[in-house]
Structure 1
Amino acid sequence: MAHWDGIEAFVEVVKLGTFAAAARQLHVSNSHISRQVAQLEQELGLPLLYRTTRQIHLTDAGERYYARCRELLDGFREAEAALQSLQEKPHGILQLSCATAFGERFIAPLVNDFLKLHPQLEMRLHLTNRQVDVIDEGYDVVIRMGTLQDSTLVARRLCERREYVVASPDYFQRVSQPHSIAELIHHRCLIGTRDQWRFDVDGLHREVRVSGPWQANSGPALLDAALKGLGLAQLPDYYVMPYLASGELVEVLSRFQCRDAGVWAVMPRHRQHAAKVRQFIDFLVEHLPQRLEQACATEAQ
């Protein structure tokens, strides 16, 4: 593209607000930036900027052209970063967040395994059941579970995850098993971090608000309450599979089980090709499914 340098200069001027700031960013002179933008406008045959002594403003044509050129430059820089990262070792600080119980049981051990392979890397692991803001709080990677909401973030599926609605046989001796989602209103629902349970109904994903006398932000505590007959709980496979096999828990509403759940790594778009991010996620994709399978196969003590 003959006017590529002009496009880069134009985008930086608009993004940074002045010709001087764009010149500093690109390590050239103010006059060089001005000439490149002027030449670009001449080649296009349209003015892109209104210039005053203190400010610049985009013309209508400039607004349209800037939006497309910004996407083009971002894509080009992502492509360069992707190629560069192939030769890089992960370095710097990796900021990671995950839900507490899942993080303690599965993610933290894998983090430690990854750091043994890459001792030059620093890790900041934050375990919380709060929904963090990935960009505003400065995270490189956040592990999320379930069905993802629409987002500008990049997501990569790490492994499958199924959630089961379960209770103990003792509980069902006192209360009849539910056969429809509507019947949940008649049951004591044990609530974890969220008071909405996920289901698939006629091919559509639904989140159903439940209520009950018990709530805690701990998966193990929720499992213990279900085993002791305190009510119905919705729990992931790695918690309940051994107890379903032993008969200590009984699954209900299986035909409404959400099929689009999973474990995901989400990240800002501009960080997805960084070596520390890409290699860490590759490591999780390789090793996390095996850890979850082992947990599901473990016999209940």
Structure 2
Amino acid sequence: MNLNDISLFIRIVETGSFTAAAESLGIQKSTISRRIAQLEDDLGARLLQRTTRKLKLTDDGEELFARCQPLINELETAKDYLATNQDHPRGRLRITMPSELGVFMMNDVVSTFLRRYPDIHLEVELSTRVIDLIEEGIDLAIRVGALADSTLIARRVAEVNRGLYATPEYLAKHGTPKTPDDLVDHNCFGVLKADEHWTFENWDSSVKVNGQLKANSISFIREMVFQHMGIARMPRVFCRECVQEGVLVEVLSDYHCPPFEINAIYPSKRHLNPKVRLFIDHMMEMIGDHPWVSEKLVTPGEVAADGQAISLAP
């Protein structure tokens, strides 16, 4: 019985299909099929019932998965630990993060990490979609905003201050809001899937805003604000130069928008990949001096994404 084939079987079950396992591992689907067939021959047992739509574990497959998954994970963790604690840590690290966070904030973190650890190979997916880390074989996600999925572990990295911005031309035509309640009479651009109720730290009630536009890109929203079309809530540093040049005006600056969180996320079902630890530690070293960051948050431990405390392993 080949341990590599056992590991491949575990990966298929975790991802839910031969195709997903092949994509996450970077090998051909036909190779996976051949190796699983060989594993079944070696064991003299059928492990998977394959149909055109889904996979189903046989009783023998369920038994093998239950017994071997913890062992394979321990072996992978030990291998990663040894590779990472050598003088020259090596191996692959897969990360996902929103596009603008990657381009405008994490670029320095990634470039300095690669220089610091030349034998670690990063695969970075810039995407706004919420990726299933386990299913797609992602080691670490950098996400923006509050979290709700308790199957993940989160480490809050930083907070970023925001403000409300419009062009002088828009305000000359539509008037300048004096209090948050005045926003109901304005075209307020928002982020896709975000709450339409805007809150302020020094205003008693939230304001339900209305707007013609929602987008998943702050850069695009800012471009639409440049067209004198509305008011948008954006990171202050993202608009600072435009305010200095007179292109944008910060409105309601006396009313403080809550900052948004930046979190590092990884699956709680596995031990922390030591290369993830290296990246998180490096990011925490770098990010505190970044102009986007309002406050560096060095927490004593990770927390589950639903807010429950998780002990931090040394």
Which TM bucket (shorter chain)? 0.5 to 0.7
User: Does structure 2 conserve the Cα–Cα contact (< 8 Å) formed by 1:162 and 1:262?
Assistant: no
Quote the residue 2:99 is aligned against: 100
Quote the residue 2:199 is aligned against: 199
Between the aligned partners of 1:150 and 1:205, the Cα distance in structure 2 is 27
User: Does structure 1 conserve the Cα–Cα contact (< 8 Å) formed by 2:159 and 2:261?
Assistant: yes
Quote the residue 1:138 is aligned against: 137
- Whichever of the two has the greater Rg, that structure is 1
Between the aligned partners of 1:282 and 1:232, the Cα distance in structure 2 is 37
Cα 1:166–1:203 shift into 2, 3 Å = closer
Q: Residue 174 of structure 1 aligns to which amino acid in structure 2?
A: K
CA offset digits 1:213-270 (Å, max 9, x no partner): 3344332222222233211111112211223344432223445534352222111125
Deviation at 1:126? Answer: 0.5
Equivalent positions of 1:205-244 (< 5 A) are 210-244=209-243
Q: TM-score if structure 2 supplies the norm length?
A: 0.58
What's the RMSD between the two structures over aligned residues? Answer: 4.4
Quote the residue 1:287 is aligned against: 286
Unpaired runs of 5+ residues, structure 1, are 1-53, 55-75, 295-301
Mapped pair 1:164 → 2:174:
no
**Which stretch has the larger CA shift, 107-116 or 79-88?**
79-88
Q: Residue 155 of structure 1 aligns to which amino acid in structure 2?
A: A
**Which stretch has the larger CA shift, 114-123 or 278-287?**
114-123
User: Does structure 1 conserve the Cα–Cα contact (< 8 Å) formed by 2:140 and 2:276?
Assistant: yes
Q: Among 85, 88, 105, which residue is 1:87 paired with?
A: 85
Quote the residue 2:260 is aligned against: 261
Cα 1:272–1:250 shift into 2, 3 Å = farther
Deviation at 1:201? Answer: 5.3
Between the aligned partners of 1:82 and 1:160, the Cα distance in structure 2 is 31
CA offset digits 1:129-174 (Å, max 9, x no partner): 1222233332211111233336332222222201212111221111
Cα 1:223–1:104 shift into 2, 3 Å = same
Cα 1:271–1:249 shift into 2, 3 Å = farther
Between the aligned partners of 1:245 and 1:150, the Cα distance in structure 2 is 40
User: Does structure 1 conserve the Cα–Cα contact (< 8 Å) formed by 2:167 and 2:228?
Assistant: yes
User: Does structure 2 conserve the Cα–Cα contact (< 8 Å) formed by 1:190 and 1:231?
Assistant: yes
Specify the SS of the correspondent of 1:292. Answer: coil
Between the aligned partners of 2:276 and 2:213, the Cα distance in structure 1 is 38
Between the aligned partners of 2:289 and 2:140, the Cα distance in structure 1 is 21
Cα 1:117–1:191 shift into 2, 3 Å = same
Between the aligned partners of 1:270 and 1:287, the Cα distance in structure 2 is 28
Between the aligned partners of 1:205 and 1:97, the Cα distance in structure 2 is 35
Between the aligned partners of 1:100 and 1:163, the Cα distance in structure 2 is 18
Equivalent positions of 1:40-59 (< 5 A) are none
Q: Residue 250 of structure 2 aligns to which amino acid in structure 1?
A: E
Specify the SS of the correspondent of 2:156. Answer: strand
Quote the residue 1:111 is aligned against: 110
Higher share in helix: 1
- Give the paired residue count: 232
Quote the residue 1:189 is aligned against: 188
Between the aligned partners of 2:119 and 2:285, the Cα distance in structure 1 is 21
Between the aligned partners of 2:179 and 2:81, the Cα distance in structure 1 is 52
Q: TM-score if structure 1 supplies the norm length?
A: 0.61
**Which stretch has the larger CA shift, 209-218 or 132-141?**
209-218
Unpaired runs of 5+ residues, structure 2, are 1-59, 61-73, 294-314
